[in-house]
A and B are shown apart, each in its own frame.
Chain A
Amino acid sequence: MQDNINKLFKAIADPTRRDIFHALVLATSALSITQISTQFDMSRQGVTKHIKILNDAGLVQMNEQGRNRFCYADPKPLKEVNKWMQFYSQFWDDSLDKLGNYLDTKQT
């Protein structure tokens, strides 16, 4: 579990990988490595490296069709990141409630 989180954060820490992931999210169909390298003006090797890291993190799945590999996005693992957002969101809700209670008791 912890290992998965490590991989996930490693994957999304890099802006280029975030861009590739977003492009795959927006794409209506799976994209080949060649299509991604054209879109990002990047070598196939470079794309393959990024895709591998995204794939390890579970953010990108791959289909092999003949000599081509097609990639598509799988946003499910991002739930882990959302957990933080939820954590802080809840934390601030609670804190503002406490502030309200404090102000009420102070007034009386």
Chain B
Amino acid sequence: MTKTITKEKVFIHPIDQIWNAITNAEEISTWFLEADFKAEVGYNYVFNSSGEDCSPIIGEVLEANPYILTYTWIVKDTPGTTIVTWKLEDLGGSTKLTLAHSGIENYAGETAIAMFESFNGGWDNCINGLTSYLKEEVNAR
């Protein structure tokens, strides 16, 4: 059973535009989660979600050199640490993004239970809520 999730996606957009979208707090807050974020090694970031009673995601930036961004990904108040890595490759105008989320095997024992409850209970509702919020925002423009 593999414990790392890997996603690859090619965007028609230039590499710097995507790099900014994943490293700039204002941009992250627009498309992803409301963010207090700096692409500086050692920065302790917070991703909030829009709903009430939703655990924020917290973590530390481990690597932030164009075009690799790595941070720990922790659902607050749970002890399990996972790691998210974004890697961008210039394909000559378009850009290949590789996202890896590893360490899900660290969700073991008590942590696993807390994580599971967090996901099952509210957290994915929080995310879903955010998705529809963003859709409304985009349509309103």
A residues contacting B by CB (< 8 A) are 2, 5-6, 9-10, 12-13, 78, 80-82, 84-85, 87-89, 91-96, 98-103, 105-107
CB contacts (< 8 Å) of B13 on chain A: these are 103, 107
Q: How many inter-chain contacts with C-beta < 8 Å in the A-B complex?
A: 80
Given A88-B104, A91-B127, A103-B17, residue A81 in contact with residue B109 (CB < 8 A): no
B residues contacting A by CB (< 8 A) are 1-3, 5, 7, 9, 11, 13, 17-18, 21-22, 27, 30-32, 97, 99, 101, 104, 107-110, 112-113, 115-117, 119, 124, 127, 131, 134, 138, 141
CB contacts (< 8 Å) of A13 on chain B: these are 108-109, 112
Mostly helix, strand, loop or mixed at chain B's interface?
helix
CB contacts (< 8 Å) of B18 on chain A: these are 99, 103
CB contacts (< 8 Å) of A93 on chain B: these are 7
- How far does the alpha carbon of A101 sit from the alpha carbon of B12 in the complex, in Å? 11
Q: Which of A88, A101, A103 is close to B5, meaning CB atoms less than 8 Å apart?
A: A88
Question: In the bound complex, do residue A106 and residue B101 qualify as a contact, i.e. CB atoms below 8 Å apart?
Answer: no
CB contacts (< 8 Å) of B107 on chain A: these are 84
> Which residue on A lies nearest to B101, using beta carbons?
A88
- How far does the alpha carbon of A95 sit from the alpha carbon of B47 in the complex, in Å? 13
Q: Which 8 pairs across A and B sit closest by C-beta, in order of nearness?
A: A102-B31, A13-B109, A9-B112, A13-B108, A103-B13, A98-B31, A92-B7, A96-B9
Task: State how many angstroms separate the Cβ of A45 from the closest Cβ of chain B.
Answer: 23
Question: In the bound complex, do residue A96 and residue B99 qualify as a contact, i.e. CB atoms below 8 Å apart?
Answer: yes
CB contacts (< 8 Å) of A100 on chain B: these are 9, 11
Can you spell out 20 A-B residue pairs with CB atoms less than 8 angstroms apart? A13-B108, A13-B109, A81-B112, A82-B1, A84-B115, A85-B3, A88-B5, A88-B101, A89-B5, A95-B32, A96-B7, A96-B99, A99-B22, A99-B31, A101-B31, A102-B30, A102-B31, A103-B13, A105-B141, A106-B17
- How far does the alpha carbon of A87 sit from the alpha carbon of B127 in the complex, in Å? 11
Question: In the bound complex, do residue A92 and residue B11 qualify as a contact, i.e. CB atoms below 8 Å apart?
Answer: no
Task: State how many angstroms separate the Cβ of A15 from the closest Cβ of chain B.
Answer: 9
